[in-house]
Structure 1
């Protein structure tokens, strides 16, 4: 009899466990590059870990890394939907159309797309106001350069990246009218070899401060090897160049992920929404300063940060000229979010022409 009770108890536990698993909300993440230990995808993965910690056994979370934009991403997103996932976070710009295509076939699945601009009844978009941190980083770069040549390793010439270059340059020119920004495009979100080559080329052109919109620490490492400064992106990259990194703009996705998963669990999630948060909401942060950054520069950055949060400073308040001398934003006016989302020109201070 005792053995029978034990068997029945074990069976009951097994059934309970199976029921609990069946009730778990399944959430998938699609990453464009390896998670690694720093960078864009790494920050998204910290958000994934945050929801696992927050919700525990209520959710089952999976991820696929190094998913190319285009057909391969559609395959991965489709697999999640076909396998009964309740929510999918597609974390790269090039996943936009594949996400929309899959979402149309699976109207009951909640899709979240990072950095895109197209939405649907079951597709939300979200992005950080990276440009606010870029502006602050520009203040640092403008103060720390001695050659007045600042390099920028950039991924693709899309509005998000152009906006970052321009905000950075606006910060530089606020404190140093003689400095110029030189840009090299890698046409890849993650290619350490190309990023390193671009950084070395910029250093060869006289750049003594580098910035980046890329997903590897190659730019920081190049700066460290050459004995110049650099500014990180997405993560604090100081461990790759403790003496080189002046600071870094850091993206904190965790609160957004916790919020959206909470909505799904409570049946309150709604699609066709866009979120664009920045310093005020804590989605954009700044990494600690290098010891080489003087106190007056730190104070300058902190004041600008508080002014942006208070709404009394906007990195794209007029007057603004493009790099050919044409006035693009008049004095007393500020670029709208719509203008920023379609940025396709360089501000004064950036050298060269923007690729088509």
Structure 2
């Protein structure tokens, strides 16, 4: 064969080899990049992470998630409960988020809408009730810890008048007020719980003012369903006592603070994201009780009577082993109507939609 032709053929073979090797190397690099890509998880908060309460507790869960699974997280704080949350979710998806936790009740309808538009993204909505193939709802049975904190308040009050600073007239808040009042009256049938609505989640001034108005009316203990320590600080300034919420806020009002129902979201967040990562995630409705650790009663302070400590420990053990139900009959509403008969209890569906106050509550619910 002509030497020139042989040389040309050898050059062609070498060139083809280089091209194929280059293509193989590019494919390998692309595969490695895909394998090294981290799961990205988005969190949407209704308040600032520095609120010390609700949003702070969720953010602690986010940090726990990062530590446990090594995933990348992004978050947006102080997002209003309105259409704006749709844009926030879509922005997070554009950044690569494959799982989104929306942590306030008012986001529910918007989460449902966006979930339908992005079937490959997992959406988890806190405190709501709607579900879809890629949308789940989650919460904790906070009413159990509320009941226990009511026992503390019922045995601590001297005036038999307990103030309750409440956010919005939604089932979550109403259920908590009812459970708290049932706890109060289980040990002190003469006590009353007076409700003051603020229609805020995070407004320290408004919430503190509401607490002061209750103190003016003779309350000597202030409970709350708010994200700030404002009500507890009002109690301390007036020489009264307080029951907190969301986190242990003893440092905010050490001379008033008794205890609080508190949240521990981290393990649940890690469990859900791990399931999304390994392909086992399924939409469901999670409502973890005290036995799961999602909802807890913060350590009672030295201001709590020994009698109350013993009673709380007794009932907490029964709640955890399933032998005690908070909403077991007979239960009347605050207008005297029998709502739960002897031997019966409210179902989860009834608790999730509750819109009436139990006997012992002074207040009204706008419907």
Distance 2:164 2:154 in 1: 13
Residue 82 of structure 1: CA displacement? 3.0
Alignment pair present for 1:226 and 2:238: yes
Distance 2:169 2:300 in 1: 29
Distance 1:53 1:81 in 2: 22
Q: Check the 8 A contact 1:99/1:113 in 2, yes or no.
A: yes
Q: Trace 1:67-86 onto structure 2 (pairs within 5 A).
A: 67-86=79-98
Q: Which residue of 2 aligns with 1:64?
A: 76
Q: Which residue of 2 aligns with 1:354?
A: 365
SS at match of 1:280: helix
Alignment pair present for 1:27 and 2:41: yes
Alignment pair present for 1:169 and 2:181: yes
Distance 1:278 1:46 in 2: 19
Q: Check the 8 A contact 1:217/1:237 in 2, yes or no.
A: yes
Structure 1 runs of 4+ with >6 Å offset: none
Q: Which residue of 2 aligns with 1:315?
A: 326
Residue 112 of structure 1 is aligned with which of 112, 120, 124? 124
SS at match of 1:184: strand
Residue 66 of structure 2 is aligned with which of 52, 58, 71? 52
Alignment pair present for 1:41 and 2:55: yes
SS at match of 2:301: coil
Q: Which has the greater radius of gyration?
A: 2
SS at match of 2:128: coil
Residue 345 of structure 1 is aligned with which of 340, 345, 356? 356
Alignment pair present for 1:188 and 2:200: yes
TM-score normalised per structure 1: 0.93
Residue-by-residue CA offset, 1:113-158 (whole Å, 9 max, x unaligned) = 0001001000010001010000000000000000011000100000
Q: Trace 1:147-158 onto structure 2 (pairs within 5 A).
A: 147-158=159-170
Which runs of 5 or more residues in structure 1 are unaligned? 1-11
Q: Trace 1:152-301 onto structure 2 (pairs within 5 A).
A: 152-271=164-283, 273-301=284-312
Residue 95 of structure 1 is aligned with which of 90, 93, 107? 107
Which runs of 5 or more residues in structure 2 are unaligned? 1-25
Q: Check the 8 A contact 1:243/1:290 in 2, yes or no.
A: no
Residue 331 of structure 1 is aligned with which of 335, 342, 347? 342
Q: Check the 8 A contact 1:48/1:257 in 2, yes or no.
A: yes
Distance 2:138 2:93 in 1: 20
Distance 2:205 2:220 in 1: 20
SS at match of 1:233: coil
Q: Which residue of 1 aligns with 2:22?
A: none
SS at match of 2:244: strand
What is the root-mean-square deviation in Å for CA atoms of aligned residues?
Answer: 1.6
SS at match of 1:303: helix
Distance 1:206 1:176 in 2: 17
Distance 2:204 2:330 in 1: 37
Distance 1:219 1:173 in 2: 22
Q: Which residue of 1 aligns with 2:5?
A: none
- Between the two proteins, the alignment pairs up a number of residues equal to 340
Distance 1:22 1:93 in 2: 35
Distance 2:268 2:296 in 1: 14
SS at match of 2:362: coil
